[in-house]
Amino acid sequence: MRRGPFVAGEKVQFTDRKSNKITDQLVAGGSTQTAHGLILHDDVIGRSEGVVVTSVTAKREAQVNAEHPERDANKPWKGTRAIGGWQYAVMRPRLADYVLSMPRGAQIMYPKDTAQVIELGDIRRGHRVLESGAGSGAMSLHLLEACGAEGELTTIELRPEFARVARANVDLYYGEHPDNWTLLTGDFDSVAATLPAGWFDRVMLDMLDPWNRLEQAERVIAPGGVLTCYVTTTTQMGRLAEALRQSGRWSEPQIQETLERNWKAQGLAVRPDHQMIGHTGFLVVSRAMADGFEALRRRERAAKDTTTDIDSLTPEQREAAFEELELRDISDRKLRKVLRDLDAQLRVIGETGDAEQREGREQRE
């Protein structure tokens, strides 16, 4: 946790009056290029959060593409970006700001989803957490914050280059490598097989096929531990849910997605923004059963077939299935009531139509 004046080497966030944000690392004698001139880092270093700095005029050549100047030959407006005099508020970035601005090789999980992972996955201070899929380190940062110095995080990343990106982003955020974070490289099954059984309180899987990783996840998680999986498509979500049920080792999965919409509130103009963050992924949450005990399942109704494909049935079986559905959907008593209501409504329409016709004839006569 950083407090006090800004120092060289730490990340800061510059925000202008239009709420445009720029996150950069302070360097003694350095500067940040903006759409309105340069922000000199020496004007920031040694000062506290919440100050306002003013950009200075830059050399116009700095606004032109140095490698391909011909691309900017017909863009005279780019020269105006050299003009300074634009004000920026200076703050330390929140974790959500840092995650959205940090260099990344893989798509990060949105803050709305990471918050739900922490809440629904019940990841708290002191927990031992296993994460699969480091990506760019966004989820690792949130998990480290949630489990705290008393807990520990073990991350397994398949691709070494992604592991390097994640390590660098996390180390930059903390200013050093966290002592309670172990980053391992390799496929999940092989690496997890080397970890102690029943050691982890929580397991977080962010990968393409989490249903194929349930065996090792079950081995390393403690009884009652929470498994949280992040998948992006309905086919992944459905396949994972069925795998969890069929194993008998996991409680009934809880599935949800989160939609995010910001609002504008200026005087009488109080309305939602025109853009929102819709579907990004599904969270599937389940809990591990103790050895020797099978998860409890809801008993399905005998007439409710949720697995058979209707196209695989013979014509006779399909007709029987349709009859079952019709009988289950509406009873004879309810059908008679529906028909009575519809007949009454039709009579009203008919009476109204007859009255209008009579009125029309009278006007013509």
Question: Tens digits of per-residue pLDDT, 186-214?
Answer: 999 999 999 999 999 999 999 999 999 99
157 is in an annotated binding site: yes
343 is in an annotated binding site: no
Produce one character per residue of 217-231: b if its CB has 16 or more CB atoms within 10 Å, e if not. Answer: bbbbbbeebbbbbbb
Domains and CATH numbers, the chain: 5-93 (3.10.330.20), 97-288 (3.40.50.150)
Mean pLDDT of the chain: 87
Which residues make Cβ contacts (< 8 Å) with residue 328, sequence separation at least 6? 303, 304
Residue 307 pLDDT exceeds 80: no
Single pTM value for the model? 0.72
Query: Which single residue is written with the structure tokens 């997890």?
Result: 192
SS3 content of the chain, % helix, strand, coil (to 5): 40, 25, 35
62-113: per-residue pLDDT in tens?
555 666 766 666 665 555 667 889 999 999 999 888 888 887 766 778 889 9
* Residue 182 main-chain phi, psi, to 5 deg: -115, 120
Per residue in 104-125, pLDDT (tens digit) is 766 778 889 999 999 999 999 9
Whether residue 44 has pLDDT greater than 70: yes
| Residue 93 neighbours by CB distance under 10 Å | 21
Per-residue pLDDT tens over the stretch 256-294: 999 989 998 989 889 998 888 889 999 999 999 999 999
